[in-house]
Amino acid sequence: MEKINWLRVLIVTGISGGIMVLGFLGVKFWYEREMLKMSKEFEKPEYPGRLRAEDLKRIPVPEPGQKFQEGIAVPKESVTSAPGVKNKLRVFDVRGEKGAIFPVNFRAYQNDVISIKLTAIDQDYDFFLEGYNLQVKAKKGEIKIIEFQALNLGVYNFYCSLCSTKEKPAGEIIIIPK
């Protein structure tokens, strides 16, 4: 009789130990997976838009008169912002029409001054640039000027809460190192 009780004890202990080992391995696997996720977060580039400085340098910045693909804003003017300074004032014309802002992609060098002339053609539009906390509203028929100095490298989304794109970015401004 004693052999059977010891056998039961051994079986129950073995099963309990197996469950404990499986539980431990499960927790260990979960912990290692979470640590891997966190370490990957720290490896991501420091610039908004998840681009490295080397990647940003490869993106061309248009000058007035150049031909670029549709959607990329070419400045109407690009002039030195002050004598003896390399930074430029880049002036863009933008229109709000048919529920969207166009063009959708702006590019400038770090420290340039960006001036965007927003014309609301057929309805009210607004322009919110994340990372710079700029917001401008233009009523139908109005022209509003949005101006800021591009201090920080990266890709910055802009939104229009009055557009058909209100749930997603209306476009982006890419600030590139010189």
Q: pLDDT per position in the chain (178 positions), as tens?
A: 455 565 666 566 666 666 665 555 555 565 566 555 544 443 444 455 667 878 888 999 999 999 999 999 999 999 997 888 889 999 999 999 999 999 999 999 999 999 999 999 999 999 999 999 899 999 999 999 999 999 999 999 999 999 887 678 999 999 999 8
The CA dihedral of 146, 148, 154, 155, to the nearest 10 degrees, is 0
CB-CB contact of 106 with 114 (8 Å): yes
Round to whole Å and give the CA distance between 149 and 108. Answer: 10
Q: What angle do CA 94, 100, 104 make, to 5 degrees?
A: 55
Domain boundaries, the chain: 1-43, 53-176
Give the number of residues written for the chain: 178
For 119-151, b where at least 16 C-beta lie within 10 A, e where not — what string? ebeeeebbbbbebbeeeebbeeeeebebeeebe
Is the pTM here over 0.75, yes or no?
no
pLDDT of residue 93: 97
C-alpha distance from residue 45 to each of 7, 105, 106, 127, 174 (Å)? 59, 21, 21, 27, 15
The pLDDT assigned to 44 comes to: 41
> What is the full DSSP assignment across 51-118?
--HHHHHTS----TT----TTB---SEEEESSTT---EEEEEEEEEETTEEE--EEEEETT-EEEEEE
Q: What is the pLDDT of residue 32?
A: 61
What per-residue confidence (pLDDT) applies to 54? 84
Q: How many helices (H) and strands (E) does the chain have?
A: 2, 10
Class of domain 53-176: mainly beta
pLDDT for the residue 90: 97
User: How far is 101 from 114, CA to CA, in rounded Å?
Assistant: 17
Rg (CA), the chain: 28
Residue 65, token pair as written in the block = 């008169």
What pLDDT sits at residue 40?
A: 45
